[in-house]
Copies of this chain bind each other. A is one copy, B any other.
């Protein structure tokens, strides 16, 4: 709206698309000039292969990352050497926000498949945000959103049974794919069953059994990594636990 329109809108769109700048600024009012400034600090990288690390726990933190293509898992290593998966990250999602506080990465991140990632040097972003109030606001919002995510985790791991957990997981993937323009009902799991189990706090065997059972009931269709959600509505019900004789939600009363 404001500012001279020397920069054609098309150029901005392309900049956004190319670099998943959109992850950073989707609901944000920026002038074309500001978009260009923002875009100019973002760096493209060469593709990563499966298993490649984006960063490791303890490394100094320099930049945020945006997954452009492919997918990434973040995990932290326990004292006993086993890993705890913290999350899976799909195209358009931002990683590294947890490292700002200490200026060191609190977890490791590795590619689950061939993956493109952009870098956003945080010091430059911070400076820029100090010049552009709406960018500052957007950063506060992004960080806040991440905090709100904790609520869901608590629900998932604290209250839900195994079926509900896996249903919730599938619905979450579905919605995230959908919001990025992919199919909400037909997609590939880039992570192993082990990873899913680890993330959901369940044993691999349990994951496998539930997949099988969900398929038997006609809820989903799984073949290897390929998943189709056949009954999204029912799956959502299951995810919320509003299904079958209102199961008592594993303990945890209150008041």
Contacts and interface: CB of A to CB of B under 8 A. Distances in A.
A144 B99 contact: yes
Contacts of A246: 80
Nearest to A201: B158
A100 B144 contact: yes
Specify how many copies of this chain sit in the oligomer. Answer: 2
Nearest to A100: B144
A147 B98 contact: yes
A239 to B, nearest CB: 11
B97 A144 contact: yes
A136 interface: yes
B155 A157 contact: no
Given A84-B158, A136-B129, A195 B254 contact: yes
B83 A254 contact: yes
A139 interface: yes
Interface stretch (A1-9, A42-50, A202-210): A202-210
A203 B252 contact: yes
Interface in A113-172: 126, 129-130, 133, 136-137, 139-151, 153-155, 157-159
Interface of A: 75-76, 78-80, 82-86, 97-102, 106-107, 126, 129-130, 133, 136-137, 139-151, 153-155, 157-159, 192, 194-195, 197-204, 206, 240-242, 246, 249-255
